[in-house]
Amino acid sequence: MGDVKYLLDTHTLLWMACEENKLGKKAVSILEDISSVLYVSSASAYEIMQKYRIGKLLGYSYVVENYFSVIHSLGLKELSINSHHASFAGNFEWLHRDPFDRLLAAQAKIENLTLITSDEAFQTLSWIDILW
C-alpha cells in the first residue's frame, strides 16, 4: 500500500478531519497507513474557503479557521497547482464541468497519484486510479 501516492478529494479531506465515519473502508485503511504518502491539492483549500464563504460548508468552520494546522496534523503534503496541471485541466475532454474536480483529475494524472474519492463523476475517467 505505502508505495502508492494518494491525492485526497476535497470531501475526503473534510471527512478525514471532521467525520471519519463517512469514509470508505478502503480509504480508511490507506489514510491510517503511516507508510502512505498523502497529498492535498491547493485547489481543495480554494474550494473549501469558497464554498464556506457562500454558505455551503457551514459545518466545517473548524477546518476553515485552522486549515494549515489541520493538514499538518493529518500528515498531508500540499500539492500546488502549476501551469501544467491548469493547462491539462482546462483541455481534457470530460462532460463534468466542476473546475475543482477537473484540477484534481489533472493533478492525479500528471503526478501519478491515486485519487481517494467517493465522487462517482471520476469513474468515467479511465486514465486515473480511484480508491474509496
pLDDT greater than 70 at residue 2: no
pLDDT in tens, 75-121: 999 999 999 999 999 999 999 889 999 999 999 999 999 999 999 99
What is the count of structural domains for the chain? 1
Check residue 131 and give its pLDDT. Answer: 95
More confident residue, 4 or 22: 22
Q: Measured between alpha carbons, how far is residue 101 from residues 13, 29, 52 in Å?
A: 14, 23, 17
Per-residue pLDDT of 13-52, as tens digits, reads 999 999 999 999 999 999 999 999 999 999 999 999 999 9
Instruction: Give the residue with greater pLDDT, 94 vs 1.
Output: 94
Q: Which residue has the higher pLDDT, 4 or 82?
A: 82
What is the distance between the alpha carbons of residues 95 and 98, in angstroms, rounded to a whole number? 9
Torsion sign over Cα 18, 10, 21, 76: negative
- Domain range for 113 is 5-131
Please give the backbone phi and psi of residue 59, each rounded to the nearest 5 degrees, phi first.
-75, 0
* pLDDT for position 4: 81
CATH number, position 61: 3.40.50.1010
Band of residue 3 on the pLDDT scale cut at 50, 70, 90: low
